[in-house]
Amino acid sequence: MFEGLGNKLKILRKNNQLSRKQIAELVGVSVSMIGLYESGERLPSLHMIVKLAAQYKVSIDYLLDYDTDAADTLPLDGLTAKQIKALKLTADCFRGQNSSSDRS
């Protein structure tokens, strides 16, 4: 389950154009600890995984390679906050259409 976690963290950090120092400051650990997480030498605590997932705007399932039904999930990594908001608004519009069409 944790295989590839370090590499994912590194890719997400780079995709978000953050340095190790920046992400370390954002989540409250040392720069060297971020390096250890990314190299796979140390596993982050559950609390830290939650913080990293929130910072990178990805699910914990995604970070941990937990197998979810791909048809029900949409990876958001690499998207800006504005793009994610647009997707959520679009999904809400479709939900509204589905609920009214279900009644007829």
Q: Output the average pLDDT for the chain.
A: 85
What tokens were used for 10? 């590194």
The CATH number for 96's domain is 1.10.260.40
Residue 101 confidence class, pLDDT cut points 50, 70, 90: very low
* pLDDT tens-digit readout, 33-66: 999 999 999 999 999 999 999 999 888 888 887 7
> Please, are residues 48 and 24 in contact by the beta-carbon 8 Å criterion?
no
Give the structural domain span for 62: 5-103
pLDDT value at residue 84:
86
pLDDT value at residue 33:
97
Number of domains in the chain: 1
Residue 102 confidence class, pLDDT cut points 50, 70, 90: very low
